[in-house]
Amino acid sequence: MTDKYFFCDNVHFHGIVFSSLYEEKCPFTRDYNLIKSELQNLGDYDKTCIETALHGVNNIVLTEWGSNTACDIILVTDGSTGIGPGSLKESLATASQRPPTNAFPLPFAFPAKLHIVCVAASNDPSLIKSKPLYQELIDISGYEGSVLLPENQLNETSVCNLFQKLAEDMYTSFRGVLKCGNLESKVILSPAPVPYTKITDFDYQTYNLSDVIDVCGFISVADVGSPMAISRHLILPAGTNVKENPLLKTTEIDLTTDDDTTDEGRMPSFCVLLHGALKVENMAALVTISENWFGFIYSWADSKKKSNLMLTILMPGSDSVPWLGDLNYLHCADNFSNELLSSFPVRPTEKRSYSQNSVVWIRQAGLQSDIQKILRHARKLPEKTQQFYKVCYRYQFYLN
């Protein structure tokens, strides 16, 4: 039996088949016809070995995207976990006893939710034995995943409904309102933000994003620096064309412009106005996304010809940017005299051994990924000299 792995970063899909080895059937892509054609050409191999696929997912995501990109991983299986060496039961039983060179691939080196879709009848004896193992796999992954089964009888309709529900739960766009005084615009955030759970020594608290993103004020991008961020999201006007996804029968954003959208393009949009103003003035907008939870909106360019309006979500709390102080106490500079004004960021009294903004890693895996990137370029010197110096300038490591 050949099982399948599909994983995505909320934009691109990727397909892997696996048995005792894994094979990449299609790279990260939004070409749904390519994915459908590859699905029709799948064959059977020797055995089911889920651990092999987990190693493959780790390698491919780290190579393609690094360790900071969140992915949704979908395991499509018939409910069998394999037998003998390489089976899921044996892998889980020996996971804690292995040397570091042969460590179990979970939890992943990147944020990921694991969803296991079992295309099998609920009373299948093999599935009944496998469900506790699947749940243990999800628990080890460290994020909220799920084990999904077709409802009622196993047939084409129930399987289609199963994937339809999965697609609606995972890929529903976040729709809200971007406000600034009397101006407002309906927007879509992509990928959709997820609730954040802040864990302390004796308690934990879950924060949910409000559907209203309210602009508090504006600040220079240079003053914002490089604060810790939970996630980053593309902001799109809600009036953008929406079309049906032929693979999942859900909706996706279509950014192309045709004759039908000519009138819509002539309509004034606060979202477009804000993007242009922030880009020209090199400013960022401080916004509230929930009670005592802040973020920054700014213009970000992935190329010289194209820029996007982005939202960076900060850690919950008003002290998430130390050099700006309490964000609730920020005021307009016009309210103070020149003697009371000071520039940002507020410099510490001790002298630092570096002069530029340092990169902040919120997870240890991010630091490891960046070090590995430097080492990869170093091994390919002198061919990769330019890339090596570019990466070194970006990540400057000094001791005080």
pLDDT tens column, 272-329? 899 999 999 999 999 999 998 999 999 988 666 778 899 999 989 888 888 888 888 8
Neighbours of 67 (CB within 10 A): 21
- How much is the CA Rg of the chain, to the nearest whole Å? 24
Q: How far apart are CA 357 and CA 327, in angstroms?
A: 20
* Mean of pLDDT over the chain: 77
Strands (E), 238-281: 242-244, 251-253
pLDDT confidence tier of residue 341, bands split at 50, 70 and 90: low
Q: Mean pLDDT: which of 98-102, 230-234, 349-353, 361-365 is highest?
A: 230-234
Mean pLDDT, rounded, for 227-252 = 64
Q: What is the DSSP string of 208-229?
A: ---SEEEEEEEEEHHHH----E
Tell me, what's the pLDDT at 302? Answer: 67
Tell me, what's the pLDDT at 345? Answer: 52
**Residue 162 corresponds to which tokens in the numbers above?**
């199963």
Digit-coded pLDDT (tens) for 149-181: 888 888 888 888 888 888 887 777 788 999 998
Nearest to 239 by CA among 317, 177, 308, 171: 177
* Class of the CATH-defined domain 3-171: alpha beta
pTM metric for this prediction: 0.56
CB 363 within 8 A of CB 68: yes
* Class of the CATH-defined domain 174-340: mainly beta
Q: How far apart are CA 270 and CA 237, in angstroms?
A: 9
Q: Is the pLDDT assigned to residue 250 strictly greater than 70?
A: no
Q: Which amino acid is located at 359 in the chain?
A: V
